[in-house]
Amino acid sequence: MNTSEQLLITGQKLFGKLGIKAVTVDDLCNDLPISKKTFYKLYDDKKEFVLEVMRYSIKQLKRELIACRRNCDNAIEMLFAQQDILSGFYEMRPLFDPEFLELCPKAVRLIISFREVFLAAGIERNLREGVAAGLYQEAFDLKEVTKAFLLLIDILLLTKGPDKAAAKGALMIFINGITTSCGRALLMQIRG
């Protein structure tokens, strides 16, 4: 692993734990350890580094989601496996604090694009596969259900504390509502 990748991983860890504003270039360099000179050879400033951390994180996330897709036996199993993967990304809560919007609007646009393009396409594909396999009902508008599902994922992934169980319950109710009787049996088997 090269210095740049080690620095990106350090950035993920520190930003996720402390928040972007709280982490200084000195903190990043001391954690590795590398010199500030090395940091500034790789990145012009902290904003550019934050953007690269988000690019790196999203690239990793896409790889994990694609691998998950290959390893799941059915559309319902895939929904829950991918939700677990996404939870890890959203656990870096300080990245989503309001200060993030101010400090790095390009990184925010990157996350929004990931959600609205990559995630939406994956959900819609999952819905199509579930319908084809007889696990989901055919009588719904795929685009609208995809939008609703994205909103539920947002709620689930951004909810913390005791409300987390309620958010998971809402997701279960939603999935239960789009499944066929065969799909509900599989859902109960998977989530027992």
What pLDDT digit, counting tens, does each position of 1-59 carry? 899 999 999 998 998 888 888 899 999 999 989 999 999 999 999 989 999 998 999 99
Write down the mean pLDDT value for the chain: 87
pLDDT at 90: 67
Q: At what angle do helices 105-113 and 46-71 cross, to 10 degrees?
A: 10
Contacts of 114-122 with CB under 8 Å at 24 or more apart are 114/58, 114/61, 114/62, 115/150, 115/154, 116/150, 118/62, 118/65, 119/86, 119/150, 119/153, 120/146, 120/147, 120/150, 122/65, 122/69, 122/82
- pTM of this prediction? 0.83
Which of 177 and 19 is assigned the larger pLDDT? 177
Cβ proximity of 28 and 103 under 8 Å: no
Q: How far apart are CA 103 and CA 111, in angstroms?
A: 14
Q: How far apart are CA 78 and CA 190, in angstroms?
A: 10
Number of Cβ atoms within 10 Å of the Cβ of 174:
17
Instruction: State phi, psi for 90 to the nearest 5 degrees.
Output: -75, -15
**Residue 183 clears pLDDT 90, i.e. is over it:** yes
Average pLDDT over residues 149-167: 76
Average pLDDT over residues 120-141: 94
Number of Cβ atoms within 10 Å of the Cβ of 26:
10
pLDDT at 87: 75
Residue 136 pairs in a beta bridge with 179
What pLDDT digit, counting tens, does each position of 51-103 carry? 999 899 999 999 999 999 999 999 999 988 888 888 777 666 555 566 666 77
